[in-house]
Amino acid sequence: MKNSKSKNAVAYVRTATKNNTLINKQLSEIKKYATKNGYKISKEYIDSGYSGNESNRPAIVELLKDSKSDAHKAVLIFDFSRIARNPIIYNMIKTDFQKNGVKIISITDSDNSPSLFMDDMFASQHSRLLSKSIKAGIARKKLLSNKKICKTK
């Protein structure tokens, strides 16, 4: 549904590989969403070849800096994992946007997806930490019981 007055927004896309096809697909879908929902995309920010676990991506850094102006109040993304795959990085970026009055809008995820996305990431992190803790406990128990952990010649 097209609104009579366009809302200013920017597009942010990211791929871990330098794959123009994936970048173009994300941009194409974002542009369709923008047209349908009354957004005017004033700028495209592209991080091609950057992992979602990296925080110092050139386009996201530029976008965060630009978000301090009043030019746009929405960032259109393909899905929430484009912002970050690491929960700490995601929260930092989201908080910076919120401080600047900028809303992150995923074109493929529902409104409650950010919380589900974060829950999934925290569960994943908890699982990794639990696994490390269990392995450390097993190794410690073997060490304290004087059992060999690995073979020596």
List pLDDT tens digits, range 121-152: 665 666 667 678 888 878 777 777 775 556 55
Supply the pLDDT for residue 131: 73
Domain-wise residue ranges, the chain: 7-109
CATH fold of 7-109:
Rossmann fold (3.40.50)
- pTM of the predicted protein model: 0.71
Task: Choose among 80, 103, 83: nearest CA to 92.
Answer: 83
Q: How far is CA 67 from CA 109, 135, 153, in A?
A: 22, 44, 61
Which residues in the chain show pLDDT less than 70? 1-4, 70, 110-128, 130, 147-153
8 Å CB contact between 33 and 23: no
